[in-house]
């Protein structure tokens, strides 16, 4: 499990709209993992959405861009989400 991804996704601005296992303003990370399961381009698509923001995939509320997330942190976050957002421990 990518503990760095869990830590990064549960800090900063992500937690204002997302939770691992329940819908808030945005979808749960587990719902995101399910939506992209089996998609060979999932990692690149999610990394781009996190970095550049976007809207329309999950409803009318747009996701703000996060241009300050480093490539390394972005990789950890997306890896953790696509793994199904497992709880640390």
pLDDT tens for 18-43 read: 999 999 999 999 999 999 999 999 99
Of the chain, the percentage scoring pLDDT greater than 70 comes to 97
pLDDT of 1 strictly over 60: no
Q: Say which CATH number the domain at 57 has.
A: 1.10.760.10
In a domain, 88, yes or no: no
CA dihedral 9, 11, 12, 15 (to 10 degrees): 70
pLDDT of 89 strictly over 90: no
Q: State pTM to two decimals.
A: 0.92
Close Cβ partners of 61 (under 8 Å, ≥ 6 residues apart) = 17, 25, 26, 55
In a domain, 87, yes or no: no
Q: What is the mean pLDDT of residues 67-89?
A: 93
pLDDT of 69 strictly over 70: yes
């Amino acid at each position: 499990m990518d503990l760095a991804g869990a830590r990064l996704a549960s800090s900063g601005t992500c937690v204002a709209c997302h939770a691992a296992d329940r819908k808030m303003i945005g979808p749960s990370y587990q719902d995101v993992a399910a939506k992209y399961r089996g998609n060979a381009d999932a990692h690149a698509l999610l990394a781009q959405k996190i970095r550049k923001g976007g809207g329309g995939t999950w409803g009318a509320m747009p996701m703000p861009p996060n241009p300050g997330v480093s490539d390394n942190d972005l990789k950890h976050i997306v890896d953790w989400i696509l793994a199904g957002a497992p709880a640390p421990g």
